[in-house]
Amino acid sequence: MEKTVCELFAGVGGFRCGLNNINTLEDTNKDEKWKTVWFSQWEPADKKTQWAHSCYVNRFGDCPDNNGEYTTNDDINTVDKSSVPDHSLLVGGFPCQDYSVASSLATSKGLDGKKGILWWDIRDMLEAKESKFVLLENVDRLLKSPAKQRGRDFGIILACFRDLDYTVEWRVINAAEYGFQQRRRRTFIFAYKNTTSYAANAKHAVKYNNMFGEEMKRKSMVHLIEEEGFFAKSFPVDVTDGKKIKSAELPKGIGELSDSFSFNFENSGVMKDGIVYTLKTFPKYNGKQITLGDILEDGEVDKSFFISESKLYYTSPDIHHSDETKMPLEPEQRKTWQYIKGAKKINRKAANGHEYVFSEGPVPMIDEYDKPARTMLTSEGGFSRTTHIVRDKMTGKIRLLTPVEMERIQGFPSDWTKDCLIDGEQVPMPLNKRRFMMGNALVVDLIKQMEPVLDEIISGEPEIEVQFNIAEGLEIVKESL
């Protein structure tokens, strides 16, 4: 099967960089192993300039649809999915702000939120194009959304795949646990049509009749999750006795599922024929650990990234907490990094008049060289507890991350987001937009590590139709004429 790709919610091209092992800007001039036939990137917040799309086109060029029209920067809701070129692999880091770790789970709106509903565009694309294979990325909190009905949103996604005749594998992966340079946990979903030879292969999917029994099914799913599945081969885990695997049947109707379904999904699992099997797995990795110090620039950095002493501290650098229940701080003291990242206690009054003490613990003010970077968010660079502050390698002074360092943390080539193509001319992307793009991206290195397994699967995929003889528990593979 030809390795053709449709990339939804493409951002600045993380999936494409990973699949084609793009490590430098010059690599974009080489023939791509995976041919992207169409992509979609539209950001409603960018009213005047579509910065992500312009960066993507600057690096890769644009893709016409089957009608010869350029719709890659249209709102995906308005795109005629049938006009998208056929492809063997659909990929996408579908918008996740409604589940984001930047906000509390209790306030996230999940699939009911403005961006959560974009899941349905993926579903519509799958229905229209019948993509054989699917690889998606989202935040790890997707498995537990929404707070009042844990697991409902992910259950709806799995049920959609079930109704479109897919089997699904998933895994929550922390990039740092496999040696990469960022502590970033994300849910990855790999789905494949039940008519593919990959699904028919006895190592990946077995069609049971009643003679096999539930215990045999559970053991086979443990084997799939821990040893033979897509994620097990891409990111090995320790093998367990499998006794803690849980299972549940998804309700037949999406409406019923939406109203009442709740389930505690673990970090790994499989959905086959509407039955969910899930197991907590533990990463198996003994290789080199890339750290923040490994990717920091060691040359001269522009002075605009450095933080003045007055903005760093309002008192002794050894103080890591403030207690305003005794004496309030001056407004200028609160505008320091020492304050925003330190522990604090503040008297507050609720809307109903109830008085209480708000408190939070400290976070390290300066990020250490010898550990992977913390999770980078779209607010990177702003006056926030989550912004990275580092000690410059050349001068020893304290500063913010540079755009190149942010790109390296996400595994992109240096200066990937430096320029955009707008109206046929290259223009620089603003610093705040470069920060946003990287906070919104995936870790490209993870896709690079998945690529050899994807290559093996799709390269070995003939154009076949698979049928199952349930009565005998056997597989019948009939070559398409």
Q: DSSP letter string over 244-291?
A: T-EEEEPPSSHHHHHHH------SEEEEETTEEEEE---B---S----
Residue with tokens 């699939």: 111
Query: Residue 477 above 50 pLDDT?
Result: no
Q: Which residues contact 33 (CB under 8 A, 6 or more apart)?
A: 3, 19, 20, 21, 455
- Do 143 and 260 sit in the same domain of this protein? yes
* Domain endpoint, select from 348, 371, 401: 401
219 lies in a domain? Answer: yes
- Do 298 and 279 sit in the same domain of this protein? no
The alpha-carbon radius of gyration of the chain (Å, integer) is: 24
Q: What's the pLDDT score for residue 217?
A: 84
Q: Is 359 helix (H, G, I), strand (E, B) or coil?
A: strand
123 lies in a domain? Answer: yes
Largest CA distance in the chain: 81
* Domain endpoint, select from 401, 428, 460: 401
Q: Which residues contact 331 (CB under 8 A, 6 or more apart)?
A: none
Amino acid sitting at position 303 = K
125 lies in a domain? Answer: yes
Which pTM value belongs to this model?
0.91
Report the candidate in 123, 196, 161, 191 with the shortest Cα–Cα distance to residue 458: 196
- Do 324 and 450 sit in the same domain of this protein? no
Q: What percent of the chain has pLDDT over 70?
A: 89
Q: Is 60 helix (H, G, I), strand (E, B) or coil?
A: helix
- Do 302 and 283 sit in the same domain of this protein? no
Query: Is the four-CA dihedral 341, 345, 349, 352 of positive or negative sign?
Result: positive
Kindly state the DSSP code that residue 206 receives in the 8-state scheme: -
Report the candidate in 400, 356, 408 with the shortest Cα–Cα distance to residue 382: 400
Kindly state the DSSP code that residue 82 receives in the 8-state scheme: G
Per DSSP (E only), the strands in 157-274 are: 166-174, 185-193, 246-249, 268-272
* Domain endpoint, select from 401, 430, 454: 401
Q: What's phi and psi for 136, nearest 5 deg? A: -125, 155
For the chain, what is the domain count? 2
Report the candidate in 120, 189, 161, 134 with the shortest Cα–Cα distance to residue 250: 161
- Rounded CA separation 139/135 (Å): 14
Of residues 119 and 193, which shows the higher confidence score?
Answer: 193
- Do 157 and 306 sit in the same domain of this protein? no
298 lies in a domain? Answer: yes
Identify the domain containing residue 269 by its residue range: 93-287+442-479
Q: Is 421 helix (H, G, I), strand (E, B) or coil?
A: strand
Q: What's the pLDDT score for residue 135?
A: 98
Query: Residue 478 above 60 pLDDT?
Result: no
- Each residue's pLDDT tens digit, 405-433: 999 999 999 999 999 999 999 999 999 99
- Do 213 and 331 sit in the same domain of this protein? no
Q: What's the pLDDT score for residue 405?
A: 98
448 lies in a domain? Answer: yes
Q: Tell me if 71 sits within 8 A of 39, measured CB to CB.
A: no
Question: Of the residues 17, 96, 160, 420, which is catalytic?
Answer: 96
Q: What percent of the chain has pLDDT over 90?
A: 81
Q: Tell me if 398 sits within 8 A of 306, measured CB to CB.
A: yes
- Rounded CA separation 116/141 (Å): 13
Name the pLDDT band for 110 (thresholds 50, 70, 90).
low
- Rounded CA separation 444/440 (Å): 12
- Do 224 and 310 sit in the same domain of this protein? no
Q: What's the pLDDT score for residue 147?
A: 87
Sequence length of the chain is 481
Q: What's the pLDDT score for residue 201?
A: 76
22 lies in a domain? Answer: no
Structure tokens at 48: 């005047």
31 lies in a domain? Answer: no
- Rounded CA separation 116/119 (Å): 6
Name the pLDDT band for 207 (thresholds 50, 70, 90).
very low
Mean pLDDT of 225-242: 96
Mean pLDDT of 327-340: 95
- Do 300 and 325 sit in the same domain of this protein? yes
Q: What's the pLDDT score for residue 94?
A: 84
Query: Residue 208 above 60 pLDDT?
Result: no
Mean pLDDT of the chain: 90
- Do 262 and 160 sit in the same domain of this protein? yes
- Rounded CA separation 163/157 (Å): 10
382 lies in a domain? Answer: yes
Burial of 355 (0-12, 13-18, 19+ CB in 10 A): exposed
Hey, which residues does 71 pair with through a beta bridge?
Answer: none
- Do 176 and 126 sit in the same domain of this protein? yes
Mean pLDDT of 175-192: 98
Q: Tell me if 40 sits within 8 A of 8, measured CB to CB.
A: yes
- Do 194 and 327 sit in the same domain of this protein? no
Q: From residue 415, how far is each of 294, 418, 421 by CA, in Å?
A: 17, 5, 14
Range with lowest mean pLDDT among 156-170, 304-318, 366-380, 455-469: 455-469
Q: What's the pLDDT score for residue 111?
A: 58
Q: Is 17 a catalytic residue?
A: no
- Each residue's pLDDT tens digit, 369-408: 999 999 999 999 999 999 999 999 999 999 999 999 999 9
Mean pLDDT of 156-167: 96
- Do 453 and 353 sit in the same domain of this protein? no
Structure tokens at 413: 């080539």
Range with lowest mean pLDDT among 17-26, 133-142, 247-256, 427-436: 247-256
Q: Is 87 helix (H, G, I), strand (E, B) or coil?
A: coil
Q: Is 120 helix (H, G, I), strand (E, B) or coil?
A: helix
Structure tokens at 260: 């009442």
- Rounded CA separation 480/462 (Å): 9
